[in-house]
Amino acid sequence: MGDGKVPGKVLDIKTADIKAAAPTFQQGAVDLSKALTTLIKTLDGLGEPWGHDKQGKQFGGVYKPHQKSIESATGILVLGLTSIHEAMADMADGHVDHDELVAGMFTKVKTDKQSDGAGEH
What torsion, rounded to 10 degrees, do the Cα atoms 20, 21, 26, 32 define? 140
DSSP-assigned beta bridge partners for residue 16: none
For residues 55 and 34, what is the distance between their CA atoms, to the nearest angstrom? Answer: 27
- Three-class DSSP labels, 56-73: HHHHHHHHHHHHHHHHHH
At 25-69, the pLDDT tens digits run 899 999 999 999 998 888 878 888 888 899 999 999 998 899 999
Q: What is the pLDDT of residue 44?
A: 79
DSSP-assigned beta bridge partners for residue 6: 9
Residue type, 112: D
| Average confidence score pLDDT of the chain | 78
Which pTM value belongs to this model? 0.58
Return the half-sphere exposure (C-beta side, CA atoms, 13 A cut-off) of residue 65: 5
For residues 63 and 55, what is the distance between their CA atoms, to the nearest angstrom? Answer: 12
Position 11 pLDDT exceeds 90: no
Q: What is the pLDDT of residue 76?
A: 95
